[in-house]
Structure 1
Amino acid sequence: MCALLVNAPHRHQEREPAVRSLSVPEYRAFLSRHGRASFLQYPSWAEVKDLWRSERVGWHYPGGEISGAALVLYRQFPGTRKYFAYLPEGPVVDWSDPRLDQWLGPLLRHLRAAGAFAVRMGPAPAYRRWDAAAVKAGAGPGRRLSDVLATEVDPVGAALADRLRTRGWKRCGGEDDGDAQPRHVFRVPLAGRSLDDLWTGLNQEWRRNVRKAEKAGVETVVGTAADLPEFYRLLRITEERDGFRLGRSLAYYERQYEVLNAEEPGRMRLYLGVHRGEILAAHTMITAGSRVWYQTGASADHRREVRPSNALQWRMMCDAHALGADEYDMRGVPSTLDPDDRPFGLLRWKLGTGGQVVETLGEWETPVDGYTNTALYKAFQAYLARR
């Protein structure tokens, strides 16, 4: 995207781009050129979130090419004509551009005209990264990721956080709450690596478990929409066993599968780990541009010794590699490094793939009309908390 700005005529550098609504073809063409947008910024995601009104917007100079874009979801505050605007893992713009007001100013004016009283967004740049070795070395009673020196601090992310704060944007919540999307994620780099590199990147326990699944006869297959009820049954078992609740219905996953694959066949896949004719594990994977995400995993309580989940993850990583993805994003992990904390088990499992814990910039909010709608903004936050 930087190239789009660099190649623009010089007179555009001193002018502010305009924001306007985009047609679906215009928006998809921009995402195709960009290639790094989150699946949450694709038009299909608006159809998944059917309780929200949606709009696709783009930044452009007069007569020029679209230089940034965003999927905006609007949620009406009951009893009012005002909307909360949400840009999940967006907008898709050149965040390295120090002229941040050129992006945010036109956006806020557009949202205000659309009736928004507040906006939440999730900028794409990472903030900090920890490799698996650093996380393992830092684990201990009472320890958290913030107690461990990061392997890398992203200069773009660090600068952007400062710029947002000086403009009155507030970072949502704490380390593990307040964001609609996970702040800490786990990513396995794929670019420039062979399958042998990925295999040797797994720790000994992971390689042993993948081999154990193969020896036990676990089959990894791609399922269909007809297998979603079994996936959901296993998900409820997993939620009960591991002490969490996603709060999604079977209908939600059926709708997600339908609309994502209608947009592009194979965008959402359901992988099944089958042993002796029984589905023991089921994981979902989403692809968009040059990125692949492991979204949700579920497994049975019995026959866990044949390691179906390890087999599925290795199959999914191999398929992501075959698709030419730059990375395999395993989504959220907790920030706790205390082995006695129940959530640490999920982090420990993902660490075995040899990837990195990435702290994103998280989600940021601001009232659209400054102090005018502060009371409405606080009331809406309380409404969301109750829900």
Structure 2
Amino acid sequence: MYTLRTVTPETYWRFLDRASTRARHTVGYQQTPEWAEARGAAWDPELLGWFDAHGVMSAGAVVRYRKLPGSDRRFAFIPQGPVLEWSAADLDSLLTPLRAYLMTRRVFAVRITPPLSLRRWDAATVRAGLSNPAITRFSQLSPDGLDDAGLDLVDVLSRLGWRRAPGDAATDASQPRLNFWLDLHCGSEEAVLAAMTKAWRKNIRKSERAGVTVGLGTDDDLPQAHRLYAQTAHRNGFSPQPIDYFTTLWTCLGQGFPGRFSMHFARHEGDVLAASATAQVGPRAQGIFAATGTARPQAKPSNALYWAIIRQAIVDSAEVFDIGGVDDTLDEADPASGLVRFKADMGADAHEYIGAWDLPLEPWFYAAFTRLLPAYTGTSNLLRDGADALRRLPARLRRLSVRPRRLSVRMRSRAGRQMQDPAHA
């Protein structure tokens, strides 16, 4: 049996260094102390270690807590974690102590989003799906591979009382189910170029002829990055993070980050046309954000930007570049399919993750919480803005077991009146 306790950043990083050689492509920046600090304004982080009978730290997690307004209960979130060997035979002995530990922290539910795949579609398969008018979703494509560890984990989680998290726009945006990975095991630019389509390679050359240059940015460039990010958010219908988010990101990851962090900017004739931030832990590089403007698309700044990031990742010995998520669409009439095409033409494969899973520790509390969730369009909004509704939960929950159906209707109605136009977080 494992003992769980809080650890220091130094102890946690020593564990991550070991874990990144074993778990390799499942260790990411969202499970680092620096990212926990960057998100500290919205969540209370804790660095947690699993210790075996010999005192060896065998698993770890950055746990983020947020207190329910008007209550002493907390919601816990472990993004892209916990960090452990998911193929291990003793998953029960690793996950069961987490439940007991969080109950002592007055947590009513915990959400995890392990970065494990269920299915994989090769780039060529995705491109074929995009070219077939009869196919509009990834589920209509036969996968090229199945991940036994991911499939086994779904069975284990279900058996231990975990359940798939309800629809949550904020979680879906930061932890998308469909992600593209670019294989860099080859370690050469020539091999990566060979996996791209002819059109993608042509656009790299076109950007070079147009005079697009890509270089690393400084904190002076953050306003430009935020400007492009806000434009990208507007085009794609999501709410952008404030400029403070970028400043905190730079402060926490850009200075002394034990992994690798970089922010690239594509410039043309003195103007910034595209920007992206990337973090690498062990052999896995991940995109944190990517932003493009609408000016001079003929110069192909996005192709130039990603090619520079790929070349840097190869130099830094990355084995995989996680270039982020996409919507579940293969319908070329859908504007969102453009990003799918861009990543598949780059040569990246699509992976379907197992998604977000919740473990209710106080079932009635969790039931009321999830009933309120749709009115606030996401966990973050409910935890931040739902004070009036949530501070009444403890008293209401005492009556929930007597009149659950009637109570849930009243709660939804009242929450709807309080939040007529909830903001997306």
Contact 1:141 1:339 in 2 (8 A): no
Q: How does 1:1-387 map to 2 (within 5 A)?
A: 16-35=1-20, 36=24, 37-49=27-39, 50-139=41-130, 140-141=133-134, 143-173=136-166, 179=172, 180-240=174-234, 242-264=235-257, 267-369=260-362, 371-378=363-370, 381-382=373-374, 385=377, 387=381
* Counterpart contact for 1:175–1:335, Cα < 8 Å: no
CA 1:175 to 1:119, structure 2 compared with 1: closer, same or farther past 3 Å? closer
Distance across 2 between alignment mates of 1:245 and 1:151: 32
Q: Secondary structure at the match of 2:329?
A: coil
Q: How many angstroms apart in 2 are the aligned matches of 1:341 and 1:372?
A: 40
Secondary structure of 1:262's aligned partner: coil
**1:142-164 deviations in Å (ceiling 9; x for gaps):** 62001111000001111111121
**How far 1:168 sits from its partner (Å)?**
2.2
Q: Is the 8 A contact 2:187 2:319 kept in 1?
A: no
What one-letter code is carried by the residue in structure 2 that aligns with 1:238? T
CA distance in 1, matches of 2:65, 2:177: 22
* Shift in Å, 1:238: 2.5
Tell me the CA shift for residue 244 of structure 1. 2.3
Greater CA drift, 252-261 or 81-90? 252-261
Mapped to 1, the partners of 2:169 and 2:77 lie a distance apart of 19
Paired AA for residue 97 in structure 2: P
Residue identity in the other structure for 1:23: T
CA distance in 2, matches of 1:172, 1:351: 28
Separation in 2 of the partners of 1:112 and 1:263?
A: 34
Checking the alignment, whether the CA contact within 8 Å between 2:259 and 2:281 is kept in structure 1 is: no
Structure 1 residue 263: Cα displacement: 3.9
Contact 1:185 1:330 in 2 (8 A): yes
Q: Is the 8 A contact 2:6 2:49 kept in 1?
A: yes
Q: Distance in 2 between matches of 1:119 and 1:383?
A: 20
Instruction: Give 1:266 shift.
Output: 7.5
> 1:293 offset after TM fit, Å?
1.3
Range with greater deviation from structure 2 (141-150 or 114-123): 141-150
CA contact (8 A) 2:180 2:325 kept: yes
> Hey, what's the Cα distance between the residues in 2 that align with 1:363 and 1:173?
8
Letter in 2 for 1:261: G
Query: 2-side partners of 1:379 and 1:175: how far apart?
Result: 12
Tell me by how many angstroms 1:86 deviates.
0.3
Of stretches 68-77 and 178-187 in structure 1, the one that deviates more from structure 2 is 178-187
1:229-271 CA distance string (max 9 Å, x none) = 011112222333x332243011111111110123417733221
Structure 2 vs 1, CA of residues 19 and 62 (structure 1 numbering), >3 Å: closer, same or farther?
A: same
The residue aligned with 2:408 is none
Task: Give the residue type in structure 2 aligned to 1:160.
Answer: L
Superposed CA offset, 1:263-290 (max 9, x none): 4177332211111222122122122222
Distance 1:76 1:380 in 2: 16
Looking at structure 2, the residues matched to 154 and 208 of structure 1 have their Cα atoms a distance apart, in angstroms, of 34
Distance 1:71 1:87 in 2: 6
Amino acid of the structure 1 residue aligned with 2:36: A
Contact kept? 2:263, 2:276, Cα under 8 Å: yes
Bigger drift between 109-118 and 277-286 goes to 277-286
Change (3 A) 1:156 1:175: farther
**8 Å contact kept, 1:144–1:338:** yes
Query: Hey, what's the Cα distance between the residues in 2 that align with 1:375 and 1:145?
Result: 31
Counterparts in 2 of 1:263 and 1:122: CA distance versus 1, 3 Å: farther
Report the CA distance between 1:188 and its aligned residue.
0.3
What is the DSSP-based 3-state SS (H/G/I as helix, E as strand, rest coil) of the residue aligned with 2:339? helix
Flag the 1:181–1:326 CA change in 2: closer, same or farther, 3 A: same
Structure number with the higher helix fraction is 2
The letter for the 2-side match of 1:41 is Q
Gaps of 5+ in 2: 382-425
**Which has the higher mean CA deviation after the structures are superposed, 375-384 or 229-238?**
375-384
Contact kept? 1:367, 1:377, Cα under 8 Å: no
TM-score by length of 2: 0.83
For the 8 Å contact 2:168–2:377, the answer to whether it is kept is: no
1:351-376 alpha-carbon deviations (Å, 9 max, x no partner): 1111100111111002124x353344
Q: After superposing the two structures, state which structure 1 stretch, 201-210 or 285-294, moved more.
A: 285-294
Separation in 2 of the partners of 1:123 and 1:141?
Answer: 32
Residue segments in structure 1 that go unaligned for 5+ positions in a row: 1-15
Query: Residues 197 and 347 of structure 2 are in contact (CA less than 8 Å); yes or no, is this contact kept in structure 1?
Result: yes
May I ask how many residue pairs the two structures share in their alignment?
Answer: 370
Name the CA distance, whole Å, in 1 between partners of 2:256 and 2:344. 33
The alignment partner of 1:211 has SS state of helix
Provide the C-alpha distance between the structure 2 equivalents of 1:265 and 1:90, rounded to a whole number of angstroms. 19
- CA apart distance, 1:177: 8.0
TM-score normalised by L of structure 1: 0.90
